[in-house]
């Protein structure tokens, strides 16, 4: 099953002026990430046999499954946001520069005192916050829906964080995390924005732009983008907004066609585009997808205007496509490299399989760059974060 919508509000040359979006002027995210221990640019893989099978020119995959050894891209956001939070504290207190080196300097950190960072998550963002807190010798408290996969809960505990399991959805966890942060004097590191809280999610979004900056010189050049379409998965929309902002800033009206993918059971961006009047709407779905990282009920109000203004096409796919994509990555065609891709990680390829095979989408295929010359960029945002389910899915046929 799949659903789609073309976005009539998408602008040829989107811009986000004004104080609220002044943070987009920042630079230095890639330089910061390069300074972290274990930093390596993630690989760009090419799958020519799959491209041939799908009738495309090229399928390229930016493979985030081993970013910082954490099986997902999320540490790019959490680490940069916590760095910027500490930098701001440092400026307020000492009116002196705070650099990426200060971030790893125990003396500088000791001068700032101790913090408890908290976050809501379905897995990957929570692990990223816990990992960053551990690197800095600080505490982390992570809120997760009670039905979260045990392996994902354990990987967060493995980073030394306290995990609080709550009945309810990801959005209930966001609310409880915000409330507990206010009551206890903790610092919430939320990847979604809410009333009165935008600065941290803005820094998280900026942190994700490193994924695209790493492609400069390799795929993207000043005169040549190197791809015709980029498929961006959305949960709360931070990553999709990072991609939308990056391509709009660098290539304006000549940017590749951006495609946003979500699960059908939590398609809040698609529904906002289809039924809204420019404002974000909650999904009507029950948020039950195996693509756990994308199980979010409402778009982040910070990410929404960026996504709305820069992404022309929205697609929602059922779990069946995600499972097919995981198997295809795991058992590649011809000499294509194997890619380990978890449920949310495979959503970009799930979208591409739906776009090239589904009868429902046959009529709109020609409106997108999906011909034999088209070069498509996918992000594998996650490895096997639930190893048991991963094995079950890739072994079933
Ligand atoms: C593996 C994976 N991919 C994609 C996303 C979507 O990112 P965002 O919530 O910023 O939209 C997430 C979010 O947690 C994720 O874990």
8 Å CB contact between 118 and 177:
yes
DSSP string, 312-368: -EEEEE-HHHHHHHHHHHHS-STTPPP----TTTTHHHHHHHHHHH-GGGGGGGGGS
Distance, CA of 228 to CA of 230 (rounded, Å): 7
Pocket test for ligand 1, best of 233, 236, 287, 379 (most atoms within 8 A of CB): 233
pLDDT of residue 349: 98
State percent of the chain over pLDDT 90.
98
pLDDT of residue 21: 97
Query: Does residue 198 register a pLDDT over 90?
Result: yes
Partners of 61 in the β-ladder: 45, 378
pLDDT of residue 194: 95
Partners of 316 in the β-ladder: 3, 262
Q: Ligand 1 centroid vs 297 CA: distance in angstroms?
A: 13
In order of start, what are the domains of the chain with their CATH numbers?
A: 2-72+205-395 (3.40.50.1100), 75-190 (3.40.50.1100)
pLDDT of residue 225: 92
Among 218, 386, 195, 395, which residue's Cα sits nearest to residue 300?
195
Tokens of 392: 């079950």
Atom of ligand 1 nearest to the CA of 122: 14
Distance, CA of 316 to CA of 322 (rounded, Å): 11
Cβ-based neighbours of 68, under 8 Å, separated by 6 or more: 36, 38, 39, 75, 131
Distance, CA of 77 to CA of 70 (rounded, Å): 13
Residues 77/81/87/88 CA torsion (nearest 10 deg): 150
Distance, CA of 134 to CA of 322 (rounded, Å): 32
Rounded to 5°, angle at Cα 235 from 13 and 200? 75
Query: Does residue 113 register a pLDDT over 90?
Result: yes
Among 164, 166, 120, 158, which residue's Cα sits nearest to residue 293?
120
Per the listing, tokens 């500490």 go with 86
Query: Does residue 223 register a pLDDT over 90?
Result: no
pLDDT of residue 397: 73
Whether 381 lines ligand 1, by a CB cut-off of 6 Å, is: yes
Distance, CA of 208 to CA of 29 (rounded, Å): 9
Half-sphere exposure of 3 (CA within 13 A, CB side): 17
Pocket test for ligand 1, best of 144, 260, 344 (most atoms within 8 A of CB): 344
- Catalytic residue list: 74, 122
Tokens of 199: 């600065």
Distance, CA of 82 to CA of 11 (rounded, Å): 32
Among 279, 322, 321, 320, which residue's Cα sits nearest to residue 298?
279
Q: pLDDT tens, 34-61?
A: 999 999 999 999 999 999 999 999 999 9
pLDDT of residue 187: 98
Tokens of 348: 């970009």
Tokens of 238: 């931070």
Among 273, 298, 294, which residue's Cα sits nearest to residue 284?
298
Q: pLDDT tens, 120-173?
A: 999 999 999 999 999 999 999 999 999 999 999 999 999 999 999 999 999 999
pTM value is: 0.97
Partners of 299 in the β-ladder: none
pLDDT of residue 376: 98
pLDDT of residue 222: 84
Span 256-266, mean pLDDT? Answer: 98
Averaged pLDDT of the chain? 97
Partners of 143 in the β-ladder: 120, 164
Residue 235: Cβ within 10 Å count: 31
Q: pLDDT tens, 294-334?
A: 999 999 999 999 999 999 999 999 999 999 999 999 999 99
Q: Ligand 1 centroid vs 204 CA: distance in angstroms?
A: 12
């Amino acid at each position: 099953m799949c659903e789609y919508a073309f976005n009539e509000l998408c602008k040829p040359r989107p811009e986000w002026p004004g104080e609220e979006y002044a943070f987009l002027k920042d630079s230095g995210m890639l330089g910061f990430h390069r300074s972290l221990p274990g930093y390596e640019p993630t690989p760009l893989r090419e799958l020519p046999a799959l491209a041939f099978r799908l009738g495309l020119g090229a399928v390229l995959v930016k493979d985030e499954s081993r970013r910082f050894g954490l099986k997902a891209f999320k540490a790019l956001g959490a680490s940069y946001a916590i760095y910027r939070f500490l930098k701001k504290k440092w400026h307020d207190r000492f009116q002196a520069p705070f650099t990426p080196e200060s971030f790893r300097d125990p003396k500088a950190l000791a001068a700032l005192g101790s913090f408890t960072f908290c976050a809501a998550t379905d897995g990957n963002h929570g692990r990223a916050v816990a990992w960053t807190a551990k690197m800095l010798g600080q505490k982390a408290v992570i809120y997760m829906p009670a039905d979260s996969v045990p392996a994902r809960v354990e990987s967060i505990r493995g980073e030394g964080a306290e995990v609080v399991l709550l009945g309810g959805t990801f959005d209930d966890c966001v609310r409880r995390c915000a409330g507990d942060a206010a009551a206890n004097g903790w610092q919430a590191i939320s990847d979604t924005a809410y009333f009165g809280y935008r600065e941290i999610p803005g820094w998280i979004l900026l942190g994700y732009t490193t994924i695209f900056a790493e492609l400069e010189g390799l795929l993207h050049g000043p005169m040549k983008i190197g791809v015709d379409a980029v498929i961006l998965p959305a949960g709360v929309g931070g990553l999709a907004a990072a991609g939308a902002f990056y391509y709009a800033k660098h290539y304006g009206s000549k940017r590749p066609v951006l495609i946003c993918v979500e699960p059908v059971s939590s398609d809040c961006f698609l529904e906002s585009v289809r039924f809204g009047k420019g404002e974000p709407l909650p999904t009507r779905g029950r948020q039950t997808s195996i693509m756990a990282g994308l199980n979010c009920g409402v778009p982040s109000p910070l990410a929404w205007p960026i996504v709305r203004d820069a992404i022309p096409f929205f697609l929602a796919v059922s779990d069946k496509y995600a499972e097919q994509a995981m198997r295809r990555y795991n058992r590649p065609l011809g000499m294509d490299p194997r890619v380990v891709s978890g449920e949310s990680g495979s959503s970009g390829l799930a979208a591409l399989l739906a776009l090239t095979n589904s009868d429902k989408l046959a009529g709109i295929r020609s409106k997108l760059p999906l011909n034999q010359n088209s070069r498509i960029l996918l992000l594998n945002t996650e490895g096997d974060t639930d190893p048991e389910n991963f094995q079950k899915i890739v072994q079933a046929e």
